[in-house]
Amino acid sequence: MKLKNILSLLALLSLFVLVFSIFSNETKITKKITKPDQCMSCHADMSDIDHAHPKEIFGCASCHGGNKWATNKKDAHRDMVLNPARLEHASIFCIKCHKNIIKRISNSMMNSQSGILNVLKYQWKESKELNSTIGIADIRGDTNISLAQSHFRKLCAACHINQDEKIFKNQKIARGGGCSDCHRVSKTKGNLHAKFTTRIPTKNCLKCHNRSNRIGLSYEGVFESAGYGTPYKHGDFTHKMSDGRRFYYNLPDDIHHKSANMSCIDCHSEKGVMGDGKKHYHMEEAEDIKCKDCHEPHFKKANTLALTLADTNEKVPEPKIIAYTKKFNSPLYNIQKDGNKTDFYRKIDGKKFNLPKMSDKPYHTLAIHKRLDCSACHSLWAPSCYGCHEVYFENGKQFDWVKRKDTKGQWQELRSFLRFENPSLGIGYNKKIMPFAPGCQVIGTIFKDKKVEKFHSMAMAGWDPHTTQKKSRTCVNCHFNPSSLGLGRGNLDIKDGNITFTPIYDSTKSGMPFSYPIDAFVSAKGKQFQSTSRKEARSFNRVELQKIVGAYKCIICHDSYSDKIYKDFNKSKKLFYSGTTTCLK
């Protein structure tokens, strides 16, 4: 009976504890909970990540995970995420609010690198399919690794936004980290949380866009030099690039950089950069902005996205009437209509500039040049790296950026020579005439045990080199310049109505496995020597070369666009050949 009492006593006691704890301590308990999560009881002095995610509302756990109710470090930090911006974490945390963006960026080319991978496989003749969306995620588990894939893994795959930052030995050139690859502007130090922003500095873009077609460098007027490191200063090399291995020199920078110090994001809209959610084959399909979107803008009322973007930007004034891109109809909230003027606001600091419209002078309106892309005339130079000699040691070891560890096989890159002047022209991916440069001229040597194998894949690629100048190339610079025409360097002339061309470079004697000059895209007779990376892209053909060079005969004297003979060039030609003009008399 006594024990029975104890039993009832215990029962009562526990009930009492319950009542005591829950009802009388309700206020105390709620007080004990720091807002918005328990993390703040230790990390109250952590600074905000940006103004859109104040810690008073978001706390830590909504992004970093962990147990936000826990009152001790061990429990609180269990299963916590250090960098929730990495896409696999972002798809748990960030996605709660940024649902679309996470999906879009995950499918974007900066994440999948499908453009590089598939063009590489196509050019190395491992795949006939140029249009494919196979990306890093799809090859991660591959065990049978082809040559192109090995090359991709060891040399290209370092740059994708979801790369692991920690694996870079040189932390100065670390890339990746998911959202933070672009959006982070400072690293966490003590109680200063890494700062995030939508005002992405060019510096962040340049972490990756400094090789291959090098648009990031070219835009700032930086050209990778021949590696001399001259001039020497203080007993050391100068003009070192941030990676410490390459050198550069300064060439004319892009007019947008020169005149307004514009950043990449001033043109490249969020949709163009982070994608529209679809998996694209090539860069140009994902790209949103066109020169005309700004220089021949069509305005509409600002939509909610524009207002949101301007609000997160903080510097650009609230948009009312703004320009939209033609392709994806995405708002360019920093191109604002102000009466008859068009104002451009620099996204980094909100500084206002007057945006010049495309003039309607004959050079922009004449039909004879309607096939030209803006870049064909307005790009002054393009980084052209001739001869990409790849050496592969099958028994070597090199870091695999997909597996993130050393694996078998080692690549080494050698080259022939560099040029930047008079980039070749050709028919680009948009079927318009645009600058071309080697991309890539691979002459490979493979060391397999004791055997040596050779292969080559010569290709030219067309792109906007981002070296836009206000003043265009001159008429002669295209119409009678062998380098611009894609013939290479040498002596161009017309004999008996035919184009003649004597090249300077002797590929055979220089040891190349082909006979045409290495800088020749096409022969004077219109035979294309090198392949391209798009189905639509090609060199000029025989007829086009004849036409372009043929027009030079008139350009000698009629060297201005406003010359009336160009208003209807075909008619003028007829008149000339009928002998009724005063020409040459």
Partner 1 sequence: MARTVSFITLGLFFVSLLSGFVILFAYHPSSAFASVQKIEFLIPFGLFFRKLHYFSSEAFTFLLLLHILLELSKRKIYLSAASWNYSVLGFALVIVLMFSGFVLKADLSANAAAQVAFSLIKDTPLLKNLLPLFQDSSVFYYKFFIWHILFLPLILGYAIYKHTRALHVEAIYFSIAIGLSLVISMVFSMPKDIILSSKVKHLSSPWFFEGAENLLLKSFSPLSINLILITPFVLLVAYFYMKQKNIAKILLFSWLLAYSYISVFLS
Partner 2 sequence: MLKIAIFISILFGSLLANDCVSCHPKDAKNCQHSLHYTLKKAINITRVAWGIKDSNVTLQTLPLPKTDIKKPSDLVDDFLRRKCLKCHLGNRSSGEKGMKRGKSCLACHTPHQKKGKCQRGKISINKCLSCHNKEFVGGDYLGLFPKDYDKSYRAPLTKDGRYPPQKYGIDYHHLSPDIHFKKGMTCVDCHDKNDMQGIKKVSCTDCHKNLSKKNHTAYHKKLACSTCHSAWNNNSYELSVFRDDTSDYKKWKNLTLQEDGYLTNFLRIALKSKKKIPPKMPDWITHKFKDGIWYSGYRYKRWENFNLANSKDGRIMIIRPLFQYRISYRDKNGKMILDDVNKINGKKIEVWLPYSPHTISKRAKSCESCHNNPLIINPKKTGYEVLDMRLPNNIINGSKLTKKQIKKMTSKRYKKIRAKMLFGSD
- Of partner 1, partner 2, none, which one sits near residue 147, judging by CB under 5 to 8 A according to partner kind? none
Least distance in Å: CB of 418 to partner 2? 8
The correct pick among 14, 186, 556, 560 for binding partner 2 (CB under 8 A) is: 556
Segment interacting with partner 1 (CB under 8 A) among 77-85, 102-110, 297-305, 534-542 = 77-85
Cα-based angle 421, 239, 233 (whole degrees, multiple of 5): 125
In the chain, the amino acid numbered 114 is S
**Using rule CB under 8 A, residue 497 touches partner 2:** yes
From the CA atom positions of the chain, what is the Rg in Å?
30
**Using rule CB under 8 A, residue 447 touches partner 2:** yes
**Using rule CB under 8 A, residue 15 touches partner 1:** yes
**Using rule CB under 8 A, residue 504 touches partner 2:** yes
**Using rule CB under 8 A, residue 513 touches partner 2:** yes
The correct pick among 55, 67, 482, 506 for binding partner 1 (CB under 8 A) is: 67
Q: Is residue 136 classed as helix, strand or coil in its secondary structure?
A: helix
Q: Which is nearer to partner 1, 18 or 476 (CB)?
A: 18
Least distance in Å: CB of 209 to partner 2? 22
d(CA 436, CA 486): 8
**Using rule CB under 8 A, residue 80 touches partner 2:** no
d(CA 578, CA 557): 19
Segment interacting with partner 1 (CB under 8 A) among 59-67, 485-493, 518-526, 548-556 = 59-67
Q: Which is nearer to partner 1, 78 or 564 (CB)?
A: 78
Q: Is residue 167 classed as helix, strand or coil in its secondary structure?
A: helix
**Using rule CB under 8 A, residue 232 touches partner 2:** yes
Q: Is residue 162 classed as helix, strand or coil in its secondary structure?
A: coil
- Pick the closest to residue 419 from 520, 508, 345 (CA basis): 520
d(CA 316, CA 352): 9
Least distance in Å: CB of 164 to partner 1? 15
The correct pick among 115, 275, 486, 503 for binding partner 2 (CB under 8 A) is: 503
The correct pick among 71, 100, 191, 230 for binding partner 2 (CB under 8 A) is: 230
In the chain, the amino acid numbered 380 is L
CB 257 within 8 A of CB 465: no
**Using rule CB under 8 A, residue 391 touches partner 2:** yes
Segment interacting with partner 1 (CB under 8 A) among 15-23, 155-163, 339-347, 519-527 = 15-23
Q: Please work out the total of residues on this chain that contact partner 2, with binding judged by CB under 8 A.
A: 63
- Of partner 1, partner 2, none, which one sits near residue 17, judging by CB under 5 to 8 A according to partner kind? partner 1
- Pick the closest to residue 446 from 469, 420, 412 (CA basis): 412
CB 53 within 8 A of CB 47: no
In 339-404, the DSSP E strands lie at 341-345, 352-354, 384-400
C-beta pairs of 397-401 under 8 Å, 24+ apart in sequence: 398/154, 399/154, 399/167, 400/153, 400/154, 400/157, 401/153, 401/154, 401/156, 401/157, 401/158, 401/163, 401/167
**Using rule CB under 8 A, residue 186 touches partner 1:** no
**Using rule CB under 8 A, residue 470 touches partner 2:** no
Least distance in Å: CB of 65 to partner 1? 4
Q: DSSP string covering 189-252, please?
A: BTTBPPPB-SS--HHHHHTTTTSTT-HHHHHTTEEE--S--PSPBTTB--SB-TTSS-BEEE-P
**Using rule CB under 8 A, residue 65 touches partner 1:** yes
The correct pick among 324, 505, 529, 566 for binding partner 2 (CB under 8 A) is: 505
* Residue 441, CA distances (Å) to 37, 156, 417 in order: 57, 16, 12
Residues lying near partner 1 in the complex (CB under 8 A): 1-4, 6-7, 10-11, 14-15, 17-18, 20-22, 25, 29, 32-33, 38, 65-67, 69-71, 75, 78-79, 81, 88, 92-93
Residues lying near partner 2 in the complex (CB under 8 A): 221, 225-237, 249-252, 387, 389, 391, 413-418, 443, 445, 447, 452, 454, 474, 476, 480, 483, 489-497, 500, 502-506, 509-513, 552-554, 556-557, 583-584
